[in-house]
Amino acid sequence: AKIISVKKEKKFTAPPKLYDLTTLQRESNKHFGFTAQQTLDVVQKLYEAKLVTYPRTDSRYLTEDMEGTALDVILNIKDTFDFETVERPDIKPVMNNKYVTDHHAIIPTENLNKTALLGLKENDKKVLTLISLRLLTATAPKEEYELTKIVAECENNKFTATNKKIINHGFKAVEKQYLSSEEKDNAEFGNISENSDYEVTSKVTEHETQPPKAYTEDTLLSAMEKAGKKDFSEDAERVGLGTPATRAGIIETLIKRGYIERKSKNLIPTTLGKEVVSSVPDKLKSSEMTVEWENELSHIAKGGSDSSGFMKQVEEFVRDIVKE
């Protein structure tokens, strides 16, 4: 095989944003197997203990007057958990008034200290640690790496291979102090140059296409958050199915009514659930209805239309559904 192209490019991975409730629930499920309701119950308890800020938020940013507070909390986190932190945390990327409505992102409060941890249960500590670590990683530097892409030609067929070489771990070095990384180290290509020839071997293997994986609470929460998102108007107050405060309750209601069940981390539809879905009119199953109603409610809230007209449409819709 002849190497016909070797391209190297310096790239960056941005730090993650701070937690809103849905993202915290997703990551608690991913790392600890907690249900969305368990996470909500724990973070509510931490809020009532004055260890974290208001939890039922859909914002992942702080307001622009919180830089000093955030820096003080970062020092508290370092002392409380003995985490290594970056020398100069950059608070600017996590502050944006435009993306904060009623409540800012979830972060620890200035009450956080080693003494406060003593009375907490294990699950409480896990969620509090996750929230604390996120503030550290969100304000840490970007990950820097060199991406090498090689194109080789063999018997008139072109093949590509890529390699990622870490230059600076940045925020991922902070993250690895508590969370295990799923990213595997790449074997380096070595000294490969264009127009060089290499002896290669090949083999044919057979594989089967796998069906989509069952939802976990992590992936279901993500799907609920994004449902119909592209169809919402820019001024819509909320997007997706449910709100950060209600999505856990929606999942628990479906389980309680026997429509879905938990099997390990997976959420599986029951026979009853499948029958309900097959018998319900398509309009009621589509996120488009939620999109239409939420957009109309936003329009009404801004004085763009009258609520009586909207309610009349809803009544007609219900009558039509009942007739069907």
Report whether pLDDT(233) > 60. no
What residue has token string 């264009």?
Answer: 194
Q: How far apart are CA 241 and CA 227, in angstroms?
A: 6
Residue-level pLDDT at 144:
96
The closest of 128, 103, 122, 104 to 49, measured between CA atoms, is: 128
Please count the other Cβ atoms lying within 10 Å of the Cβ belonging to residue 26.
21
- Listed as own residue / partner, the contacts of 38-42 with beta carbons closer than 8 Å and 24 or more positions apart are 38/123, 39/127, 39/248, 40/245, 40/248, 42/123, 42/124, 42/127
For 29, counting Cβ atoms within 10 Å of its Cβ (0-12 exposed, 13-18 middle, 19+ buried), the class is buried
The closest of 303, 324, 318, 5 to 153, measured between CA atoms, is: 5
Cβ pair 25, 131 in contact under 8 A: no
pLDDT mean over 165-173: 92
pLDDT per residue over 248-293, tens digit each?
Answer: 999 999 999 999 999 989 999 999 999 999 988 888 888 778 778 8
What domains can you pick out in the chain, each with its CATH number? 1-180 (1.10.290.10), 215-323 (1.10.460.10)
pLDDT per residue over 198-213, tens digit each?
Answer: 888 888 899 999 999 9
Q: How far apart are CA 183 and CA 55, in angstroms?
A: 30
Which is catalytic among the residues 19, 47, 54, 61? 54
Q: Where are the beta strands (DSSP E) in the chain?
A: 2-13, 143-154, 157-168, 215-216, 260-263, 266-269
More reliable by pLDDT, 191 or 4: 4
What pTM does this model have?
Answer: 0.83
- Annotated catalytic, 54? yes
Residue 244: C-alpha distances to residues 30, 43, 77, 131, 250 (Å): 17, 13, 26, 16, 11
